[in-house]
Structure 1
Amino acid sequence: MLLYLTLGSNDLSRSKRFYDAVMPHVGLILRAEEDAEIGYGLPSDRIRLWITQPYDGQAASFGNGTMPAFDASTRAAVDAFHAAALAHGGSDEGAPGLRPFGPSFYASYVRDPDGNKLSAVCERPL
């Protein structure tokens, strides 16, 4: 398991609106908020996702081929994650549905307002 993941943002208040709407669908809540970063995690665990303004002061950019995938408890949560992302400034990178990566691999793909690609995945059978 990863200790934590950091994604860059050029507009932290815009990112907060996006992630506040999207992360609850995969069980993560806002756990920290500072001037230059916000952090999300499970209520009883450490912060696992940080959204930050880059430390070096340069513009944030997304990595080509980089994508965190979040474990969703149900297919409905995957659907809600995708819908919340689109309603809060994200863009579609793949509508919710079964993928060829396993018999129950149900996923959606979005980009946040800064272009970071995210996925929500439920691997539980119906």
Structure 2
Amino acid sequence: MIHHVSVGTNDVARARAFYDAVLPIVGLALMKASDRAVDYGSGHLLFSAETPLDGAPATAGNGSHIAFAVEDRAMVDRFHATALANGGTSDGAPGIRADYDAHYYGAFVRDPDGNKIEAMTYSAK
């Protein structure tokens, strides 16, 4: 079981502005913030964006992404649109990903630091 996931950021305020808008769509709320990190969860910490502890610049992981399961396709669509409206870039518009599964509906975005995140559902509605 995964306890939490963190992504790197070079600008905590910018990351917070992005994730404050996007993560409520997948059911996560801001739990704690500092000048080094912003932490989100739903009762327990689940996701954070933080500056690297080693002091080196944060970089996005090549080939890595975090997928959030949501209830329906409308939430996937809202996730994608909200991310783009708040400084994210599209890395795959909402749609069926038949290579994964005939019912897999997802959208991929990059946060302002280049970290890849996704919202997905198997719901037909």
TM-score range, shorter chain: over 0.9
SS at match of 1:119: strand
Structure 1 stretches of 4+ moved >6 Å:
none
> What is aligned with 1:84?
82
What RMSD over aligned residues (CA atoms) do the two structures have, in Å?
A: 0.9
Structure 1 unaligned runs (5+)? none
Shift of 1:102: 1.4
Shift of 1:120: 0.4
- What is the count of residue pairs matched by the alignment? 124
Identity %: 44
- Counterpart check, 1:114 vs 2:88: no
Shift of 1:103: 2.3
Structure 2 unaligned runs (5+)? none
- Counterpart check, 1:64 vs 2:66: no
Shift of 1:97: 0.6
Question: What residue identity is the alignment partner of 1:118?
Answer: I
TM score, norm. by length of structure 2: 0.96
TM score, norm. by length of structure 1: 0.95
Question: What residue identity is the alignment partner of 1:53?
Answer: T
Structure 1 CA distance for aligned equivalents of residues 102 and 88 of structure 2 = 28
5 Å matches for 1:1-126?
Answer: 1-42=1-42, 45-100=43-98, 101-126=100-125
